[in-house]
């Protein structure tokens, strides 16, 4: 089975320190993985006797650095097709067998790792319900079960029927102990369209956004373009970022006197032929450079004078944390998540938002780039509690990772005897 892990798991709460297990379904893109990694690193930094294990389907999780006491299990990958259906990413077997393998690895890992806290990212039951059995098992063991949600899920008219179809309410009511929203209600209330009983509403906590920091300097030599002031354009994973890159390239091809040179990060999931085309066009411009991917995006954001991005959760957190003027070009399909976040952030004065046009007029992009140096920085807008997410997560989780269960009680829940 396609399970990869860099270290050894413990086999019982009594033998090791506290443990947190994080699940991220990761069909494609970087958002879920980067959010879970940020949470894991913050928790181990604040809790010296804690280990965190991440369950992920990301095909590039091994490209990232992980701190001591943070590790991962790589489960077989799946990818969402443009028609909304899923298929196995690398294995030439049908989807049902892939999902069965994923579910088995998830449950077996949770059984051995025996976490004090289990955090499920975004999907209450996991991809196609793959964590449901694990939730039931860990509930019997006494683990604290948490659903972690980003600030914006989708437009209300789409999210409510999706969750109804997936029948997630019984799990929210009977299995989960807490629901954490990694944002603020002043910007968005992701579940306001869903009718929920008071017993579920009482589990809901808004933590604030997850602050990002620049990692310690690495041995990698900086790109030549970053030695002077530059604008950073990033598509995140890049699977749907071609319009953003196309529009920026047109602006620089048309107007060579724009205020700053541009570094384009195309994204590891952008189609290879598109990457080759964009790289070739960038190579012809003296003030534009294109790269595929960098695992230290925080450093590139920190060094830039401004950021152009699609408005995904992680990039938005980096823009706020590193206090960068930004232009957001959010997608509107298949989800309106980025558009909702970007439009609300623009209303608050945190960013400039630019909506896509059919003709991708280079003059419109050039005008936005010229406005960028005069924009308000996020730090000049007062939003109480905006970036306190990691501190609040630590406060929320501490009672549960410091809690010691009676091993007899745990054994009874498992229906087995332990020495």
- What was the pLDDT predicted at 219? 57
Average pLDDT rounded to a whole number, residues 258-262: 96
CATH architecture of structural domain 4-211+387-414:
3-Layer(aba) Sandwich (3.40)
Query: Contact 2/74 with Cβ under 8 angstroms?
Result: yes
Confidence of residue 222 (pLDDT cuts 50, 70, 90): confident
- Percent of the chain residues past pLDDT 70, beyond the cut: 87
Query: Contact 265/300 with Cβ under 8 angstroms?
Result: yes
- What was the pLDDT predicted at 416? 44
Q: What is the pTM of this model?
A: 0.87
- What was the pLDDT predicted at 84? 55
| 12, pLDDT greater than 70 | no
Average pLDDT rounded to a whole number, residues 173-189: 96
Confidence of residue 140 (pLDDT cuts 50, 70, 90): very high
* CA 118 – CA 126 distance, rounded (Å): 13
Query: CATH 3.40.50.2000 region(s) of the chain?
Result: 4-211+387-414, 224-380
Assigned superfamily of 224-380: Glycogen Phosphorylase B; (3.40.50.2000)
The larger pLDDT score, comparing residue 23 to residue 10, is at 23
Confidence of residue 408 (pLDDT cuts 50, 70, 90): very low
The larger pLDDT score, comparing residue 279 to residue 409, is at 279
344 is written with which tokens? Answer: 């609300």
Confidence of residue 96 (pLDDT cuts 50, 70, 90): confident
DSSP string covering 99-158: HHHHHHHHHHHHHHH--SEEEEES-TT-GGGTTHHHHHHHHHHTPEEEEEEES--S-HHH
Give the phi and the psi of residue 268 in degrees, each rounded to 5: -70, -20
- What was the pLDDT predicted at 217? 62
Residue 12's CB: how many other CB atoms inside 10 A?
A: 13
- Percent of the chain residues past pLDDT 90, beyond the cut: 70
> Cis omega before residue 334 (within 30°)?
yes
Question: What is the tens place of the pLDDT at every residue in 312-331?
Answer: 999 999 999 999 999 999 99
Confidence of residue 309 (pLDDT cuts 50, 70, 90): very high
Confidence of residue 63 (pLDDT cuts 50, 70, 90): confident
Query: Contact 323/298 with Cβ under 8 angstroms?
Result: no
| 4, pLDDT greater than 60 | no
Question: What is the tens place of the pLDDT at every residue in 364-405?
Answer: 999 999 999 999 999 999 999 999 999 999 999 999 998 755
Average pLDDT rounded to a whole number, residues 55-66: 87
Q: Mean of the per-residue pLDDT values for the chain? A: 88
Question: What is the tens place of the pLDDT at every residue in 100-136?
Answer: 999 999 999 999 999 999 999 999 999 999 999 999 9
- What was the pLDDT predicted at 15? 53
- What was the pLDDT predicted at 80? 63
Q: Which residues contact 324 (CB under 8 A, 6 or more apart)?
A: 301, 304, 305, 306, 307, 318, 377, 378
What letter would DSSP give residue 416? Answer: S
| 3, pLDDT greater than 50 | no
């Amino acid at each position: 089975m396609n399970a990869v892990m860099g270290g050894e798991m413990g086999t019982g709460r009594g033998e090791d320190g506290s443990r947190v297990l994080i699940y991220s379904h990761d069909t494609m893109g970087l958002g879920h993985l980067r959010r879970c990694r940020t949470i894991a690193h913050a928790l181990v930094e604040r809790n010296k006797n804690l280990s965190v294990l991440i369950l992920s389907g990301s095909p590039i999780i091994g490209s990232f650095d992980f701190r001591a006491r943070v590790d991962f299990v790589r489960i077989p990958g799946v990818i969402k097709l443009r028609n909304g259906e899923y298929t196995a990413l690398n294995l030439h077997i049908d989807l049902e067998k892939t999902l069965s393998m994923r579910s088995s690895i998830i449950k077996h890992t949770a059984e051995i790792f025996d976490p004090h806290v289990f955090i499920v990212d975004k999907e209450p039951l996991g991809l196609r319900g793959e964590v449901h059995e694990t939730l039931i098992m860990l509930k019997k063991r006494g683990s604290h079960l948490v659903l972690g949600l980003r600030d914006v899920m989708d437009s209300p008219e789409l999210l409510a029927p999706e969750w109804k179809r997936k029948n997630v309410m019984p799990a929210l009511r009977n299995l989960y102990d807490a629901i954490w929203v990694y944002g603020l209600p002043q910007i968005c209330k992701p579940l306001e369209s869903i009718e929920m009983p008071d017993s579920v509403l009482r589990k809901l906590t808004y933590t604030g956004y997850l602050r990002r920091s620049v990692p310690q300097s690495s041995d990698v030599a900086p790109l030549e373009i970053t030695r002077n002031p530059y604008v950073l354009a990033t598509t995140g994973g890049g699977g749907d970022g071609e319009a953003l890159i196309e529009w920026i390239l047109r602006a620089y091809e048309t107007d060579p006197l724009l205020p700053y040179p541009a570094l384009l990060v195309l994204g590891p999931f952008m189609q290879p032929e598109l990457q080759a085309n964009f790289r070739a066009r960038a190579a012809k411009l003296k003030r534009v450079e294109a790269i595929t991917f960098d695992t230290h995006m925080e450093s590139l954001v920190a060094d830039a004078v401004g950021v152009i991005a699609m408005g995904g959760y992680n990039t938005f957190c980096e823009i706020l944390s590193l206090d960068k003027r930004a232009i957001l070009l959010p997608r509107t399909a298949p989800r309106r998540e980025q558009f909702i976040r970007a439009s609300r952030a623009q209303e608050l004065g945190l960013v400039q938002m630019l909506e896509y046009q059919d003709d991708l007029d280079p003059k419109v992009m050039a005008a936005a780039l010229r406005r960028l140096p005069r924009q308000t920085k996020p730090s000049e807008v007062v939003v109480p509690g905006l970036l306190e997410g990691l501190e609040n997560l630590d406060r929320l989780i501490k009672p549960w990772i410091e809690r010691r269960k009676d091993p007899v009680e745990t054994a009874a829940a498992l229906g087995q005897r332990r020495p």
